[in-house]
Structure 1
């Protein structure tokens, strides 16, 4: 049974039994504790925590997941993979243990001809939390399992919690006996014989403290009991497809087949190569899915994980003997296998492949540079008589240059050196510990919303937004927060957060900055609003200062928007949609939004692109936007079903969370986007849009900034004034300015070159006199010279070499000169061949001088340069060279 069919049967089975089918959330999720969705229940977490009220009591999904904590284990076991899919069914206060067990047993054991998975009942076992007698009784009743096929396990294996206070409960797993070839009978811990493939979590307890997975306090029972189950799709696929592991299923193994053809090696021939084939197949698929969900390679966070996956895949192909680029052969194969379940991969493959191939090219260059650095480290180790590279050197190659440790081990061994792998692992462990500590610290984000949940529980969280068609709204004060605590009353001067039952003030979201405004109380009180946020779903919080009077919950009020600010922001927001559409028109559909900010009179728009946008293209984009402004197209907003919006071609953003009903903002028939922000009624009201330029802000992401309306006009007016001043000063027409300025710059460069030549001549003119000043020090002809200030290093270097040549090659020669440029001192030392034969090396004497100058230096044995910070010590530095030379002869 193909993986896509297993997926289809799951969704169909639960939909027929009253479950709402919820599409997979993107891998990039809003949870502050997660880089990626790593479990099927993550999108439903707000429901389990009570932060949001679900629109359904039963749901089912097949959720895309990525886990990278065990990335080093990928390929070594049958279980570890980075990307996987989790089939889940969920109940929110509806059915509980018996319902969950009955549904699971029915789907697992029903014959394949009847739409089930067809597992043989005699091979199935159930594990339960050892104190959960209720679940044990249900397994006996529903499935007829005898006691010897019900396994009692402790908290470590069969009690679930999120690691923070909140819901928890016992769980029960369905296991399959794969036979004696996979391990000993009734050995539940070791081996792969008894394989768990479906976990049923019974959320029934309210945990007040969680110190570890096995150490927590239960405050009581939950008011509503919930069900959260997870069945590993890939795990079931390899069980039903008769293969040994997740790497050999139909969605993964085709990549291994292509890797075999490219490398000429065979999967199954030896363990080392098998691990490499599996890493390639797993990581190529993971990279495909991550880029598909909007992640781009980078040096931190999600981008770093993606970069690491791609680089591990490329490196594994290299270890399989393939030096040429390979992603162009591998990635399309993975796409073709995954598109049955995720058709958006086919539509977005142009963008996905562009990003992946560019990262492969970049890493190949890194490998080249890293090889050079490794060769240098190896040479230094050998010259020092060492037989191994230090762990710190290997870690620097890995951490700074992205050079994999196994490649370092391999290449060092080729040159007869070992690597302090233990030292490397220790440094890696310290880095991981720092990352874990940081992740643990972030868990406090769950507690940050407690005060808002307290308000929401008391007064309800749904605040009506009236600001699409009103700027003044009657309202009632529903909640007050001061100093992080809920209060009943506040007074003049207090910094507060205030919740109204309805408001026209827009809460910051979607890149649009929050409204400012006033709240007038019926008792004469006045509040100035300086920010509006949604700290939890549905709850709008106004951050404000009480200017006059007292405020108490329950009071009548009138909320008013700062209209001038709102209009300015709305113009910028509408212009952002126009920039997005114009970029797509010019660059193609791969130029998708990666972030934005709409502030008064100004916008910032981030988009996906691997290369800079040419100036001519930017000019065309700006012209297209302003041409549409002249057309004065209407801006309309319509509420519709999400599927209908997609059929209309409305653009949605990666990582955004959309409900079943969405708001579609259209600019005529030219642009459509899902958006909750405020906009101008017609684009002509924007006036003018001036693009300030574009630049890279990270790997694969670029940024356009623009001015809008009066701000754009002011910018253009200032530029016009500058042009007017220049035309007057240079006595040319405006269209002649570029040529005239280019001519002046050319003349300036010619003059600078002439001045430099004169200065160099003056410096070099000192050579004959310096040759005449040469002294004998311990059998060495020595010249020392302070060239003063305002001398270029290249000119002094030329003088040093000229003097060395003039002094001949018959006896050892050392030339030492120093100068200062821009207040920074530097020193240059040169030796001839006879001096070097006598053991006199320029680098050693430069370091002596540079230390006096408060710096350092180095170079070759015949010529070296150093510098420092203390220009007053130039004479002392030259004296130190002479003293070192005398000491040598003593």
Structure 2
């Protein structure tokens, strides 16, 4: 049974039983605790927590997931994938344990003709939580599984959570017995290679707190409702129903392995080491493909680092198998063809996906080349020292500084007749990981405690009036001060105010929250400085009470600052125009990677591996302003998500859209996006958009910044004033200022060269006088001088060489310093005769560097350095005299 058929049967089984089909969310969701969606229930988390009311009582989905904690296990075991499809059915206060168990059993064991998977019931075992008698009884009495095939396990195995604060509960897992040829008898407790877990039924009824591990966390209390969350691994079921040995040999991944065989010349199935590499290529290519499709680009931290590591492991594995050139484009094309029927939207993105992956491969191949050269030097020095082993620190330097994988180091060391201190390497890696983990933990956002807002959520959603009105009357339904709900607040308090209705826009989609006032008939005046959403349902006005007091239940007038909103509308609509212009000029690969807009300013991040040339940026700016000048009507349409996508509306990565969405259309096909923000009514109201520049904000991500409206006008006015001032000062027309400045710059450079030449000549002319002033220190002559300010380090060195030559056969030392602002370049030279007495410039320079506030070094005849303490020249000279006398 092909993977796409398994997906289809799962969805049909549950939709026939009344479940609402929910499409997969992006791998990137706005959750501070997760890099990627790692479980099928993650998109439904607000429903389980009670932060949002689900629009359905039961649901079914096949969610794309990524887990990278076990990345080093990929290819070694038969069941680890970094990317996988989690099929799940969900109940939000509807059915509970019995419904979940019987639904799962019927799909697994019903015949293929009846829409099931046709699995032999005698091959299935189940586990339940230690104290869960209810689940065990259902399995035995309702389903009919013999008691000996029901095993009870502890919290680490049968109590589910996401590993972070959130929903949790006991679970029941279903295992498939592959047979005695795969391991020992005795059920999952005995051997989880023979008994493969295929479905986990979570009876979600509690909320967990902070803690580490799978069984070391606090249970905070019950969830608002008892819920069901199940997860069936599509890949695991596929490899069992397709009769292959592991998840890497299914219909979706085996084609990648076959392509790797063609490109490398190696054969799958001959050696365990090579098989692991083939599996790594297959698994990581698919994961990389899906991550890039959802907007991730390679980088050095967070999501970007995970993607970079995956792509580089593909390159490394292909090289170890024998590949000599680039392979990434072909691997990605195979994944496109195999996974396209399940995720057709990625097929249209393929050009961008391949471009990002190939760029990373090209960069890493250069890294491997430089790392190979360093390895060869390290190996040669190891042999020259009579050693047989590369140290752990040498292997670690290759890995950490040059990105050189350990297994390549091991292979090349063996070819060179050397060993590698793997234990030392792994110890250094462990120390690095510990530091990284501690750093990550210190920076990681804590899980937001939403419990204080729960009573307000239960009262219903905030009604947003701001699309049509800037003022409105509302009731104060919630007050939060210092993290606690209160009944009243007084003058001077910083408070969060929740109204049942509000015209204030809450920050979302890159648009900052509104500013304004909340007032009451009793004289209260509250200045609103920010507005945020809780659970996408509750508007929280963060404000300061400047006079009077506020109580629960009061009526209040809310008024948005009209200038703030006007500017915000201009910036947000301007962002849409910039996005559309970027895509027209750069192509559809310029995918949005983030944005921010506030009154008068916008910034827009987009995916690109290359900087945008200035002339191209000028084209984008002109196209943006031409579209604005065309005075296009701005239309907003509320429709279904499916119809919006059919209209060509673009959705943002990481956003979890509901069934009903809001489409903002500007100029027909010019710009059409899913957006919940506020906008101008026609494009001409945006005013001018003036680009400030384009820059990099990370690997594969570029940023455009711009002023909008009156801020753009003021910026241009300032620029015009500067140009006018320059034109007046240079006595040239404005259009000739650039040429005049270039001419003056060239003349200045030539004058500086001439001055330096004259300075060098003057120094050379004074060299004889300096030698005449040399003082005798013991048997040595010492020439010490602070030369005129502005003398470069190069001139100092040339003068020192000249003075050494003038000292002839005399044993002598030359010490020259210069003042260059707060810096002190210095040079110390030692004649041949002085070197014969044992003096070395490199040693002497260390004695004089400290008083100068710097450091230096060099060879026996000449050393130099720089300091930051001009007042220490006298002390440095005294130290030198003492050293020479010694």
- Whole-Å separation in 2 of the counterparts to 1:356 and 1:404: 19
Q: Between 152-161 and 511-520, report the one with greater CA deviation.
A: 152-161
Deviation at 1:751, TM superposition (A): 1.2
Aligned to 1:357: 358
- Structure 2 residue matching 1:230: 3-state secondary structure: strand
Aligned to 1:471: 470
Aligned: 1:668 with 2:667: yes
- Whole-Å separation in 2 of the counterparts to 1:481 and 1:346: 48
- Structure 2 residue matching 1:282: 3-state secondary structure: helix
Aligned: 1:232 with 2:233: yes
For the 8 Å contact 1:453–1:536, the answer to whether it is kept is: no
Q: 1:840 to 1:362 in 2, by over 3 A?
A: farther
Aligned to 1:629: 628
For the 8 Å contact 2:813–2:834, the answer to whether it is kept is: yes
- Whole-Å separation in 2 of the counterparts to 1:365 and 1:568: 47
- Whole-Å separation in 2 of the counterparts to 1:506 and 1:722: 38
Matches within 5 A, 1:723-802: 723-766=723-766, 786-787=786-787, 789-802=789-802
- Whole-Å separation in 2 of the counterparts to 1:376 and 1:467: 67
Aligned to 1:721: 721
Q: Between 541-550 and 162-171, report the one with greater CA deviation.
A: 162-171
- Whole-Å separation in 2 of the counterparts to 1:269 and 1:782: 75
Matches within 5 A, 1:264-343: 264-343=265-344
Q: Between 535-544 and 828-837, report the one with greater CA deviation.
A: 828-837
- Whole-Å separation in 2 of the counterparts to 1:413 and 1:858: 38
- Structure 1 residue matching 2:52: 3-state secondary structure: coil
Q: 1:812 to 1:64 in 2, by over 3 A?
A: farther
- Whole-Å separation in 2 of the counterparts to 1:350 and 1:634: 33
Deviation at 1:287, TM superposition (A): 1.2
For the 8 Å contact 2:185–2:191, the answer to whether it is kept is: no
- Structure 2 residue matching 1:287: 3-state secondary structure: helix
Q: 1:163 to 1:794 in 2, by over 3 A?
A: same
- Whole-Å separation in 1 of the counterparts to 2:629 and 2:448: 50
Aligned: 1:34 with 2:60: no
- Structure 2 residue matching 1:350: 3-state secondary structure: helix
- Whole-Å separation in 2 of the counterparts to 1:302 and 1:133: 42
- Whole-Å separation in 2 of the counterparts to 1:588 and 1:109: 49
Matches within 5 A, 1:109-258: 109-162=109-162, 167-186=167-186, 188-190=189-191, 192-205=193-206, 213-214=214-215, 224-258=225-259
Deviation at 1:784, TM superposition (A): 6.1
- Whole-Å separation in 1 of the counterparts to 2:370 and 2:811: 38
- Whole-Å separation in 1 of the counterparts to 2:385 and 2:793: 32
- Structure 2 residue matching 1:469: 3-state secondary structure: coil
- Whole-Å separation in 1 of the counterparts to 2:290 and 2:519: 51
Aligned to 2:53: 53
Aligned: 1:67 with 2:53: no
Deviation at 1:412, TM superposition (A): 5.4
Structure 1, residues 368-401: CA drift from partner, whole Å, max 9, x if none?
A: 4445555666677778887655545544554444
Q: 1:168 to 1:723 in 2, by over 3 A?
A: closer
Q: 1:823 to 1:489 in 2, by over 3 A?
A: closer
Aligned: 1:615 with 2:630: no
For the 8 Å contact 2:43–2:656, the answer to whether it is kept is: no
Q: 1:654 to 1:861 in 2, by over 3 A?
A: farther
Aligned: 1:487 with 2:486: yes
Deviation at 1:439, TM superposition (A): 6.2
- Structure 1 residue matching 2:447: 3-state secondary structure: helix
Aligned: 1:533 with 2:541: no
Deviation at 1:584, TM superposition (A): 0.7
Deviation at 1:50, TM superposition (A): 1.5
- Whole-Å separation in 1 of the counterparts to 2:221 and 2:591: 48
Which ranges in structure 2 are unaligned for 5 or more consecutive residues?
Answer: none
Aligned: 1:518 with 2:512: no
- Whole-Å separation in 1 of the counterparts to 2:807 and 2:191: 80
Deviation at 1:637, TM superposition (A): 0.8
Aligned to 1:590: 589
Q: 1:365 to 1:876 in 2, by over 3 A?
A: farther
Structure 1, residues 250-290: CA drift from partner, whole Å, max 9, x if none?
A: 22222222222222222222222222222222222211111
Structure 1, residues 204-235: CA drift from partner, whole Å, max 9, x if none?
A: 45668877633567687656322111111111
- Whole-Å separation in 2 of the counterparts to 1:731 and 1:787: 39
- Whole-Å separation in 1 of the counterparts to 2:544 and 2:674: 34
Deviation at 1:501, TM superposition (A): 0.7
Q: 1:523 to 1:877 in 2, by over 3 A?
A: closer
Structure 1, residues 816-838: CA drift from partner, whole Å, max 9, x if none?
A: 54444333223345678999999
- Structure 2 residue matching 1:445: 3-state secondary structure: coil
Q: 1:828 to 1:334 in 2, by over 3 A?
A: farther
- Whole-Å separation in 2 of the counterparts to 1:231 and 1:4: 14
For the 8 Å contact 2:796–2:826, the answer to whether it is kept is: no
Deviation at 1:411, TM superposition (A): 4.8
Deviation at 1:499, TM superposition (A): 0.7
Deviation at 1:753, TM superposition (A): 1.4
Pairwise CA RMSD of aligned residues?
A: 3.2
Aligned to 2:108: 108
- Whole-Å separation in 1 of the counterparts to 2:6 and 2:838: 76
For the 8 Å contact 1:607–1:703, the answer to whether it is kept is: yes
- Whole-Å separation in 2 of the counterparts to 1:594 and 1:218: 37
Q: Between 377-386 and 444-453, report the one with greater CA deviation.
A: 377-386
- Structure 2 residue matching 1:821: 3-state secondary structure: coil
Q: 1:868 to 1:488 in 2, by over 3 A?
A: same
- Whole-Å separation in 2 of the counterparts to 1:245 and 1:860: 63
- Structure 1 residue matching 2:619: 3-state secondary structure: helix
Report how many residues are paired: 884
Aligned to 1:572: 571
